[in-house]
Amino acid sequence: MMTDTLPASATTNEDALAKVVAAAEQVSLDDSETEHVHGENCCHDHDHDHDHDHEHDHDHSSEPSRPQGRNDYDLLEIRGTNDQTTDPLVKTYFEAREVFLNAMERLDGIPEGADDELIEKHKDEIASVTGELMRAFMMDEKACAMNQRILKLAEQYETYVQKCNPEGTSTVAVESDDDGAEQKTTIYTKDSVVFVIWILYSGQQFAHCIHTLGFAITEFEALRPRMLEFRASCHMALRNYKACTNDLEEVLTLKPDSSEIHSMLGNVYYATHQALDATHHFKSFVEVAHPDSRTLPNAYFALANLTLQSAPSGATKKKSNQALKQTAVLKEAQDYYQKAQTADVRFKELYGVPTALNEVKRTAVMAFQARSAGRDGLLSTDSTPALLEASEALKRSFKNPSISSCANCGRPDNVANAERSPGLKPKPLIKCNKCNKVAYCSRPCQINHWNAAHKNTCNKK
């Protein structure tokens, strides 16, 4: 809806456009998750206002690389608002936390150590507590905090499995690292494999975790959707976005009602500038999302940006079909922005703080609160000119997804930048010098993609 009132933070069109361009071009997966909520005792750096007045010092860009962390549903309990929402994810989190805490209380009664006598005496409790901890982890990993005692339990459980060969065990041949050495046979259970995944995942050993997850995906059909989610998170942390989206898309084929997977896919596609795919998944998400979902505001802000950038350009005649379509698209974009603001208000009612000002939200705020200055120097009440300027800026950002990300792995920047000093200008993606239509993050990716596909489609035109 077009608004006739000027927002308090309205800026001139020229300044706003510069900020919109900068914000749009800086969108990355580092800002794609809005999981973190800022509590009254956090120490974070934000560009938005808070109800608390202490100082902040924090870089948002480091947060999403850590798939596991403190879950902000705890704020609901602190504020006493957890009974004011029926969000099923909230319910699952607190159920998982209760299972975890009960298991940890039982774990306190098991002596440490892995000698045969101790394991034999406490084997039933070791197996039972391990099973409960794995159940909590599979329900919601953020409800389960890894610690030294759990690591020692892993050693106890492994000794129990190898010694007692309990029901449900299987064997697998493991190649030895020594040349010429014979294969070793190891015994495992479903819980022992999940235990290894939990340890690797919480320790951010993502490459090793991906390998173990691949085994679990093949071996345990019932765990397949959840294991694919974990592997997608590991791929995201390693910036292998194509593998991440492949896993998430497979989750949807197995569990079509997984609404939050649509949100995750929307974030990945948005960050890699694939506007059509991002729009599809965000729309699928908001159609079925719970109104209290923590990711709902971000989805609406993203849809506002994506819809705005799709507005037709060059409509000169007011009543032409092009102009009418342009007006309809701008209205749709503004509707999404208003829904985002409404979801933000609800979020603050529950959590006591606003959603984080990531690049998706920042881009939307810059675009939809900008106003053009008239000849008299005063800000116009008509938002259309500023929105059209912002639309063109966003179009440039989403113009060519093949060039904005690696055609082989989906990474949006050159791998060499990981080792470069922050003060140096980042290295661009490596473009194919024959067709100039695709780009790569590294030479190995270019070779792999050439052999797999690009040599059949590349041309000099």
Greater confidence (414 vs 136) lies with 136
Average pLDDT in the 229-238 region?
94
Q: Measured in whole angstroms, how far is the alpha carbon of residue 284 from the centre of its chain?
A: 16
Provide the residue type at 393 as one letter: A
pLDDT band at 362 (very low <50, low <70, confident <90, very high): very high
Position 128 scores a pLDDT of 97
Q: What is the CB neighbour count within 10 angstroms for residue 310?
A: 17
pLDDT band at 171 (very low <50, low <70, confident <90, very high): confident
Position 444 scores a pLDDT of 92
pLDDT band at 183 (very low <50, low <70, confident <90, very high): low
pLDDT band at 398 (very low <50, low <70, confident <90, very high): confident
Position 382 scores a pLDDT of 66
Position 433 scores a pLDDT of 84
Beta bridge partners of 186: 172
Greater confidence (5 vs 116) lies with 116
Check: pTM over 0.85? Answer yes or no. Answer: no
Beta bridge partners of 440: 430
Q: Tokens for 284, please give them.
A: 């699928």
Asked if residue 130 lies in contact with residue 195, where contact means CB atoms within 8 angstroms, the answer is yes
Q: Residue 417 above 90 pLDDT?
A: no
429 φψ region: left (φ > 0), alpha (ψ -120 to 50), beta (else): beta
Q: Residue 233 above 70 pLDDT?
A: yes
Nearest to 224 by CA among 288, 143, 138, 157: 138
- 82 — phi, psi (to 5°)? -65, -20
Greater confidence (29 vs 396) lies with 396
Asked if residue 294 lies in contact with residue 379, where contact means CB atoms within 8 angstroms, the answer is no
Greater confidence (279 vs 436) lies with 279
Q: Residue 129 above 60 pLDDT?
A: yes
Per-chain mean pLDDT for the chain = 81
Position 409 scores a pLDDT of 86
Dihedral (CA of 54, 58, 61, 62) sign:
negative
Position 380 scores a pLDDT of 55
247-273 pLDDT, tens per residue?
A: 999 999 999 999 999 999 999 999 888
* Cα distances (angstroms) measured from residue 54 to each of 46, 49, 445: 12, 11, 46
39-95 pLDDT, tens per residue?
A: 433 444 444 444 444 433 333 333 333 333 456 799 999 999 999 999 999 999 999
Nearest to 234 by CA among 262, 211, 257: 211
Asked if residue 183 lies in contact with residue 150, where contact means CB atoms within 8 angstroms, the answer is no
Position 180 scores a pLDDT of 60
318-330 pLDDT, tens per residue?
A: 677 888 898 899 9
Greater confidence (161 vs 13) lies with 161
Position 336 scores a pLDDT of 97
Greater confidence (44 vs 449) lies with 449
Average pLDDT in the 427-434 region?
86
Position 400 scores a pLDDT of 58
Asked if residue 213 lies in contact with residue 377, where contact means CB atoms within 8 angstroms, the answer is no
The least confident of 25-29, 152-156, 301-305, 427-431 is 25-29
Find tokens 């900020």 and name the residue. Answer: 19
Position 25 scores a pLDDT of 44
| Tally of CA atoms within 13 A in the half-sphere of 454 that contains its CB | 22
Instruction: Map 214-233 to HEC letters.
Output: HHHHHHCHHHHHHHHHHHHH
Position 372 scores a pLDDT of 52
Nearest to 367 by CA among 2, 14, 20: 20
Position 267 scores a pLDDT of 94
Dihedral (CA of 289, 295, 301, 307) sign:
negative
Position 35 scores a pLDDT of 41
Share of the chain above pLDDT 70, in %: 77
Beta strands in 168-313 (DSSP E): 170-174, 184-188
Average pLDDT in the 96-107 region?
96
Checking DSSP bridges between strand 184-188 and strand 170-174, what pairing results, if any? antiparallel
Most confident of 160-174, 184-198, 214-228, 429-443: 214-228
Q: Measured in whole angstroms, how far is the alpha carbon of residue 13 from the centre of its chain?
A: 32
Share of the chain above pLDDT 90, in %: 51
Q: What is the CB neighbour count within 10 angstroms for residue 357?
A: 16
Provide the residue type at 121 as one letter: K
CA–CA dist 187, 1 (Å, integer): 63
